[in-house]
Amino acid sequence: MPVALALLLALCSLIPIYARSYGVGNVCELGRRPNTRPHSVSILEFGAVGDGKTLNTLAFQNAVFYLKSFADKGGAQLYVPPGRWLTGSFNLTSHLTLFLEKDAVILASQDPSHWQVVDPLPSYGRGIDLPGKRYMSLINGYMLHDVVVTGDNGTIDGQGLLWWDRFNSQSLEHSRPHLVEFVSSENVIVSNLTFLNAPAYTIHSVYCSHVYIHKVTANTSPQSPYTIGIVPDSSENVCIQDSIINMGYDAISLKSGWDEYGISYARPTANVQIRNVYLRAASGSSISFGSEMSGGISDVVVRDAHIHNSLSGIAFRTTTGRGGYMKEIDASNIYMVNVGTAFLANGSFGTHPDSGFDADAFPLVSHIRLHDIVGENISAAGDFFGTKESPFTSVLLSNISLSMKNSGSADDSWQCLFVDGSSESVVPEPCPELKSFDSSYGVAVAL
Ligand SMILES: *[C@@H]1O[C@H](CO)[C@@H](O)[C@H](O)[C@H]1NC(C)=O
Ligand SMILES: *[C@@H]1O[C@H](CO)[C@@H](O)[C@H](O)[C@H]1NC(C)=O
Ligand SMILES: *[C@@H]1O[C@H](CO)[C@@H](O)[C@H](O)[C@H]1NC(C)=O
Ligand SMILES: *[C@@H]1O[C@H](CO)[C@@H](O)[C@H](O)[C@H]1NC(C)=O
Ligand SMILES: *[C@@H]1O[C@H](CO)[C@@H](O)[C@H](O)[C@H]1NC(C)=O
Ligand SMILES: *[C@@H]1O[C@H](CO)[C@@H](O)[C@H](O)[C@H]1NC(C)=O
């Protein structure tokens, strides 16, 4: 055998961890197809009034009902002109494009009676805030395909203050609504819009596939309780790209169901790409995994993220009773500034939906790779707390350079318990658990 070929084969055997494609393919290219609909109607044709005061729920519902008849004729666009369009919750339909013109603002009604109450999601068994039912989201897609929510940077404003106050004062009747939610839908695009003040999550996709979210801005106040930007939940083939997200809690959070409900629903979140995002998470994490992850989360690639003013940068959260897994996760080319804990992995995090959880359902956290990361003004580099029954395994850190807020003080930058992995070129120097040579990373020596 020629020497060059032998060398190549030898190298290939070392490649898996570095060149693994994670099967993600080009999920971010899927949303690039042009979206033109042969028919377009304006919300004005359904009697809507854009004065910020008139309730337009019926106009939106009637418009969508009318546009259903175009589903087999190439679909249609519902056009929302400049104005302030107050509405309660409404549903979308397949082959529909909801287009918000520049200076068009859809305003969510602050009267809870304008929000339908619906059953909890089967993979959660109850609402996230409270047991039992939940408010339906403002804009909903249920069992749809080929839906687009876009515009020329129009705005969807959830006016969430009322819901945040009720959450804080424990006076919610049901779990809070989200701003936009797709359930069991395929080929969904959300783009070119600004989302403000979501009551809870801004964009929630659950049991979906082929979801493409790009060029969105999503903001809630840093004080808003547990508001989350984009939540791919039990969904596969998801791309989040070119977006700016500033949230009270997490900016992007990947989930897949809660304890026994998520375990029996068994629908993972897989093949997710997150690229070119600018994130802030005041009291949570800019990118988080879990803590609801009982259906499993795998094959996630994060590239080119700017994370600032966040309690933590990247967090993995789970607890006993969750079951499920978080694995094959690769994050790189990340810049962090003014971040509390750059990397956080907590195996004892979060509560249970009810007492029916399985105390022997241990989550698996493995094959996490964090590399090519620079941080400035970081308070703690990394906290990895696995548990005796389910230690975190195969955590690989490489080419990470964090300048610490209090450099020179006692070195507790990294804290590790029940975790093993390996590292290369990491400053400050990680804890011994993450320095050990792990044979499954045979190539670490060749970095
Ligand atoms: C919207 O869809 C949900 C199903 O997800 C249904 O329960 C509800 O009645 C629909 N609302 C309207 C106004 O069509
Ligand atoms: C997105 O919005 C920009 C302006 O913010 C506009 O120029 C562009 O045409 C929009 N793209 C689409 C696909 O509507
Ligand atoms: C979109 O609109 C928001 C305000 O509604 C503004 O802050 C933002 O800069 C705009 N983005 C673009 C790309 O025009
Ligand atoms: C460093 O980050 C902390 C938040 O972790 C922030 O309060 C502080 O203002 C930052 N310092 C500088 C110099 O930016
Ligand atoms: C893990 O989460 C639990 C529950 O929220 C908390 O009490 C604990 O301090 C966390 N551990 C770390 C290392 O953050
Ligand atoms: C280390 O990471 C930095 C920041 O992402 C990057 O610019 C640099 O090229 C990386 N170095 C190597 C040797 O890969």
pLDDT at 306 over 70: yes
Rounded distance, CA 40 to CA 91, Å? 18
| 12 Cβ neighbours under 8 A, 6+ residues apart | none
Strand 228-233, strand 201-206: pairing: parallel
What separation, in Å, do the N-terminal and C-terminal C-alpha atoms of the chain show?
26
Which tens digits make up the pLDDT trace of 153-171? Answer: 999 999 999 999 999 999 9
Burial class (CB in 10 A: 0-12, 13-18, 19+), 6: exposed
Alpha helices in 50-158 (DSSP H): 57-67
Q: Which amino acid is at 281?
A: A
Tokens of 62: 């009637």
Q: What CATH number does residue 268 fall under?
A: 2.160.20.10
Q: Give residue 446's pLDDT.
A: 36
67 in a domain, yes or no? Answer: no
153 in a domain, yes or no? Answer: no
360 in a domain, yes or no? Answer: yes
Tokens of 319: 């607890």
Task: Please list the helix, strand and coil fractions of the chain in percent, rounded to the nearest 5, in that order.
Answer: 15, 50, 35
Across the range 276-295, mean pLDDT stands at 98
Rounded distance, CA 204 to CA 244, Å? 16
Q: Give residue 63's pLDDT.
A: 98
402 in a domain, yes or no? Answer: yes
Burial letters for 26-50: b for 16+ Cβ neighbours within 10 Å, e otherwise? ebbebbeeeeebeeeeebeebebbb
**Coil/strand/helix, residue 265:** helix
Q: Give residue 17's pLDDT.
A: 38
Stated pTM of the model: 0.92
Which residue is listed with tokens 């791309």? 239
Arithmetic mean of pLDDT over the chain: 92
Tokens of 133: 């039912």
Across the range 282-287, mean pLDDT stands at 98
Tokens of 102: 């520049």
Strand 228-233, strand 186-196: pairing: unpaired
Q: Give residue 444's pLDDT.
A: 42
Of the listed ranges 67-71, 123-127, 283-287, 438-442, the least confidently predicted one is 438-442
Q: Which ligand is nearest to the CA of 194?
A: 3
Q: What angle do CA 191, 270, 362 make, to 5 degrees?
A: 135
Across the range 219-244, mean pLDDT stands at 98
CB 128 within 8 A of CB 264: no
Across the range 166-195, mean pLDDT stands at 97
Which tens digits make up the pLDDT trace of 8-65? Answer: 444 444 433 333 444 445 788 866 666 689 999 999 999 999 999 999 999 999 999 9
Q: Give residue 82's pLDDT.
A: 98
Q: Which ligand is nearest to the CA of 184?
A: 1
219 in a domain, yes or no? Answer: no
Q: Give residue 1's pLDDT.
A: 43
91 in a domain, yes or no? Answer: no
Strands in 48-133 per DSSP E: 51-55, 76-80, 83-87, 90-91, 96-100, 104-108, 117-118
pLDDT band for position 226 (cuts 50, 70, 90): very high
Tokens of 176: 């809070």
141 phi and psi angles, rounded to 5 deg: -125, 120
Tell me which residue of 359, 230, 355, 365 sits closest to 305, measured CA to CA.
230
Which tens digits make up the pLDDT trace of 344-371? Answer: 999 999 999 999 999 999 999 999 999 9
Task: Spell out which residues line ligand 3, taking CB within 6 angstroms.
Answer: 153, 155, 194, 217
Question: Could you tell which of 311, 316, 349 is best to mutate to test the pocket of ligand 5, judged by most ligand atoms within 8 Å of the CB?
Answer: 349
Ligand 2 center to 153 CA (angstroms)? 7
Residue 339 host element (H or E): strand 325-346
Which tens digits make up the pLDDT trace of 392-407? Answer: 999 999 999 999 998 7
Q: Give residue 255's pLDDT.
A: 98
Residue, of 411 and 297, whose pLDDT is higher: 297
Tokens of 187: 């080929």
pLDDT band for position 412 (cuts 50, 70, 90): confident
**Coil/strand/helix, residue 40:** strand
Question: Could you tell which of 193, 217, 242, 246 is best to mutate to test the pocket of ligand 3, judged by most ligand atoms within 8 Å of the CB?
Answer: 217
Strands in 88-227 per DSSP E: 90-91, 96-100, 104-108, 117-118, 134-135, 139-142, 145-151, 154-157, 180-183, 186-196, 201-206, 209-219
pLDDT at 231 over 90: yes
Preceding peptide of 34 cis, ω within 30°: no
Ligand 6 center to 370 CA (angstroms)? 12
98 phi and psi angles, rounded to 5 deg: -95, 115
Tokens of 119: 């059953």
Structural domain for 311, as ranges: 1-30+249-447
In total, how many domains does the chain have? 1
213 in a domain, yes or no? Answer: no
Q: Give residue 29's pLDDT.
A: 81
Ligand 3, atom 10, residue with closest C-alpha: 153
Percent of the chain at pLDDT > 70 equals 89
91 lines ligand 1 (CB under 6 A): yes
pLDDT band for position 447 (cuts 50, 70, 90): very low
pLDDT at 325 over 90: yes
Question: Could you tell which of 100, 101, 107, 153 is best to mutate to test the pocket of ligand 3, judged by most ligand atoms within 8 Å of the CB?
Answer: 153
Which tens digits make up the pLDDT trace of 413-446? Answer: 999 999 999 999 999 999 999 986 544 544 444 3
**What are the residues facing 356 on neighbouring strands?**
none
Tell me which residue of 364, 360, 362, 361 sits closest to 329, measured CA to CA.
364
